[in-house]
Structure 1
Amino acid sequence: MREFSTFRALSAGRFLGALRRGWVFLLLLTLCSSAPAWAIRGAVGAHDPSNIIKDGNKYWVFTTGVGIPSLYSTDMLNWTAAPRPVFTAATKPSWIATKVPGFVDTYWAPECIYMNGKFYLYYSCSTFGSKVSGIGLATNVTLDPTSPNYNWVDEGEVISSNNNSAANAIDPAVYRDAANNLWFTYGSFFGGIRILQLDPATGKPLANATQFAVANGGVEAAYVKQHGSYYYLFINRGNCCQGSNSTYYIQVGRSTSPSGPFLDKNGVNLNNNGGSVVLSTSGRYVGPGHAGVFEENGVSYFSHHYYDLDNGGAAKLDVAKLTWDAAGWPVVSRNWLTPGRYTISNPTSSLLWTSAGCNSAVGQGVLQNPGSGQPCQQWDLTLIGEATYQLSTVDGAVAVGTRNCSSATGTPLQLESSSGSVCQEFQLERASDGSFVFGFFNRVVEAAGGSGSAGTALQLGLYNPASPAQRWTTTATGPLASAAGQRLVGVSIYPVPAQGQGFTVALGSQPTAEATVVEVYDVRGQRVHRQPFDKQLAKLVVTTALRPGVYLVRVSRSSGTFTQKISIQ
């Protein structure tokens, strides 16, 4: 497993089996206590996700866990655990007992591809603190456990390693080159990343295949994606599997050859500790890892897991947007919509969000009505955090929220004086059909009663992937802002260490025309303080009542975020 193997490698010689069992128990616990169907930001319990793969009208992801669990979705927003894993204790592949003695039932970092009329599922088996590992293969003609044709066939060992091997046989990934040759990457901290060629008829290594060393150091979770004339090798470095304290991050290098060498933006070989950062901890999204790329209808999706700082460091699946810059390097963002002025319409009824009374009076509701071209049907979307927006009227006087900040089902939207508070924050998620869902706390925006009629009020409801009344499309009506940065530069916090009653955030050269939100999290990943600040402030006096200890401070603006650990005396 990619992330678990990092934890193992970092603790080689002193890792306790009890810690392994404890982490697996925590993973299973989060699976069992995952959020209900209205959750639209990832799936609790998803660790080491495979690349997204589609079978029929369902998207599938396989994850680390007992028997190899899987998740499926019809829209890439609402993920559901499959009814049973790939393997049971009775169907555990027989080759494992010989090559990986002591392995129990927790398989790591699976990967799935489709070829030869069936699905090929690669998986890892290992033992902590050693290179006694193996990668196996199973095939199936369908991924749907409810199908009468569902049957995983054990195809045996792909590659294995022992304590004398050059590399550790975990973390499989498969890709094709421009000539349609099949390639395979694997490896971890123990010996780095290796690449070799596979036989497309069997999905196993070609006889006497050359193994290319392509990344060294504290590296794992390799994945290769071809784009244009380059092959891009994504890797992970840092520490995983420690919840909110994880330091995992994703790097990339590229090569004109499918077997490397892969160089970063500065020309440094990944096999010489090189790598350009693609995705790292930002705000609530801690320790991203295990990259995958899925493409459909001209859109590239970047799948990975992260640890949710807003949910005690629980591991979750995330699906972000992948684009490419002018120099051909990957850019990953969770912000599917560029800030700017838009109309918001329902793709089924074509009705637009409209302020009731067509004015900006505080307390007015928000309705859906036919397009009229009036300003009351245009909304300024301001990015105030990753995938989080404020929706304001064109005059900027008021923003969309709910009365008394209620998130109860059935609560109508209404206009409120713009305050920059959490009560005016909406999370935008893109569905696979290109529509958006507007999340508000643990609810989503919908037309009341699921109506497609003009004049219907917009309200909050539980997420229902089958409801067209909860889907919205956007049309730009003016120039859009440039993409927001990932990290604020020049921000500082003082004094250090801070006192329990508060501290000061200095924004440095950051523009004063943006509102700011400061949040404080404890070591469990629980938010213990949140304080919004108006525009025009360069120094923010944060007033708290914190006990002595270590905390994480997150500063969020529309242009990016800044995080720093502080000590409270």
Structure 2
Amino acid sequence: MKHLRIAALLAAAVLALLPAPAQAATYPDPVRITGQQIIHDPTVIRLNSGEYAAYSTGGVIGARLSADGRHWNDAGNAFASPPSWWYQYNDTGDPWAPDISYRAGRYWLYYAVSSWGTNHSAIGVATSASGRPGTWTDQGKVFSSETTDSWNAIDPAITSAGGRLWMAFGSYWTGIRMVELNRTTGKAISGATVHHLATRPDAPYAVEGPYILKRGGHYYLFASYDACCAGVNSTYKIRVGRSTSVTGPYVDSAGRSLLSGGGDLLLAGHGRYVGTGGQSVFRDRGQDWLAYHYYDAQDAGTPKLGLNRLAWTASGWPRVA
């Protein structure tokens, strides 16, 4: 018995020296919403009227409206019909991944037109005094890419920095890029330098859907990594890096460059919430909110709207709350 007790004590001592088993990452569920929940690649804003608007991929830029940010109603589309120039980029005039912002007394809605698997793509812009569906006037093409380019002009995201206007964009084709825009027209300046912000070291360089948020002395680049658009088989997840310059270099909290595959994991699929991505950030009553889509594993993989408040650590990094 003495030998057994000694053996047990030795075994316990060895186990105490071993590293603890890795714990699976846990993420908070999105806030509960009601009404029309189906959405893909959402961009959300609180309008000057006090109403919330969400625009998305689907339809002629699908629209949702809400009085409180929790109960959402289908509000049709941004446009009654596709502008004719969209058909240069796909046969159905199908727009993708809009981005809404407010500047110079009006709302600006950027969007992409393209076809799956090609970088023959373009980003356009429309303006509105109210930001409501049905009030948008298309202003035409902002920037484009062709099959000879190493970037893809989709997934626009607009940010201001130092009195200048910038547009991040990109998907695969070496990842996330950025160009400067003319503040008056909202379109790419002539001969704009195409800056490189993020990519992956492994083909097919699966990073896309940028969004850039200015907070304190840093610009934060949020992007979607891995595969979307496959329902419950989607592997989308959201990563983030930051820079003191809007054009980079962007690094994660360990100092790894986002041009070398870095990026802190902010949100990944969990439970019924599969393939979290297509994200944007909006500010409401002094709080930052992350808007994204997920594929509902309890509803045949239907894409739905996810909303989570963003909290910030003492060292200045976002986390999903």
Provide the TM-score with structure 2 as the length reference. 0.84
Q: How big is the shift at 1:42?
A: 7.6
1:86 to 56, 78, 85: 78
The 5 Å alignment of 1:370-385 reads: none
Q: Which of 259, 275, 281 in structure 2 is aligned with 1:271?
A: 259
Q: Deviations over 1:516-545 (max 9, x none)?
A: xxxxxxxxxxxxxxxxxxxxxxxxxxxxxx
Displacement, 1:210? 1.5
Which of 170, 176, 187 is the equivalent residue of 1:187? 170
Cα distance in 1 between the residues matched to 2:35 and 2:280: 15
SS of residue matched to 1:208: coil
Give the aligned partner of residue 66 of structure 2. 73
**Structure 2 match to 1:112:** 100
Would the alpha carbon gap of residues 41 and 269 (structure 1) be closer, same or farther in structure 2, given more than 3 Å must change? farther
The AA in structure 2 aligned to 1:141 is A
Query: Alpha-carbon deviation of 1:142?
Result: 1.6
Unaligned runs of 5+ in 2: 1-31, 200-204
Residue of 48, 51, 56 corresponding to 2:41: 48
Aligned equivalents of 2:46, 2:91: Cα separation in 1: 27
Distance 1:191 1:54 in 2: 35
Q: Residue in 2 aligned with 1:157?
A: 141
Match of 1:245 among 213, 222, 233: 233
- 1:421-465, Cα deviation, whole Å (9 max, x unpaired): xxxxxxxxxxxxxxxxxxxxxxxxxxxxxxxxxxxxxxxxxxxxx
Q: Deviations over 1:303-354 (max 9, x none)?
A: 1111122222211111101011111110012xxxxxxxxxxxxxxxxxxxxx
Asked if structure 1 preserves the Cα contact closer than 8 Å seen for 2:34 and 2:72, the reply is no
Report how far residue 43 of structure 1 moved: 4.0
Distance 1:109 1:53, change over 3 A: farther
Note closer, same or farther for the CA distance 1:309–1:137 as it changes in structure 2 (3 Å cut).
Answer: same
CA displacement 1:192-247 (0-9 Å, x = unmatched): 11112111111111222221111112100100001111100001111111222211
1:148-174, Cα deviation, whole Å (9 max, x unpaired): xx5321211001111111211100000
Give the corresponding residue for 2:189: 206
Decide whether the 8 Å contact of 2:126 with 2:139 is kept in 1: yes
Deviations 1:128-149 (A, max 9, x none): 221111111111112334xxxx
Q: Quick one: which of 57, 62, 66 aligns to 2:55?
A: 62
1:442-461 alignment, distance < 5 Å: none
CA–CA distance in structure 2, aligned partners of residues 243 and 283 of structure 1: 14
What is the CA–CA distance in structure 1 between the aligned matches of 2:266 and 2:83, rounded to whole Å?
Answer: 36
Shift of 1:286: 1.2
Unaligned runs of 5+ in 1: 1-38, 334-569
Aligned to 2:298, what secondary structure does the other structure show? helix
Q: For residue 64 of structure 1, report the CA deviation from its aligned partner.
A: 0.4
Please state if 1:218 is matched with 2:206: yes
Aligned-CA RMSD value: 1.6
Residue equivalent to 1:196: 179
Contact 1:137 1:158 in 2 (8 A): yes
> Residue type matched to 2:197 in 1?
V
Cα distance in 2 for residues equivalent to 1:307 and 1:47:
9
**Larger Cα Rg: Structure 1 or Structure 2?**
1
Distance 1:42 1:169, change over 3 A: farther
Q: How far apart are the structure 2 equivalents of 1:42 and 1:192?
A: 35
Paired residue for 1:296? Answer: 284
Q: Distance in 2 between matches of 1:298 and 1:143?
A: 21
SS of the aligned residue for 1:253 comes to strand
Distance in 1 of aligned mates of 2:35 and 2:144: 33
Judge conservation of contact 1:52–1:303 (CA < 8 Å) in 2.
Answer: no
Q: Percent identity?
A: 40
Secondary structure of 1:323's counterpart equals strand
Counterpart Cα distance in 2 of 1:126 and 1:93: 14
3-state SS of paired residue (1:311)? coil
Of the two structures, which has the highest relative contact order with CA contacts closer than 8 Å and spacing of 6 or more?
2
Structure 1 distance, partners of 2:234, 2:279, is 16
- Measured in 2, the distance between the counterparts of 1:171 and 1:244 equals 22
Cα gap change, 1:117/1:249 in structure 2, threshold over 3 Å: closer, same or farther? same
Report deviation, 1:184: 0.5
Distance 1:53 1:204 in 2: 24
Give a deviation string over 1:109-143, Cα, whole Å, max 9, x none: 01111112211111111112211111111111123
CA distance in 2, matches of 1:56, 1:163: 42
Given candidates 58, 61, 86, the residue that maps to 1:96 is 86
C-alpha separation between the residues in 2 aligned to 1:171 and 1:106? 13
Q: C-alpha separation between the residues in 2 aligned to 1:97 and 1:315? A: 26
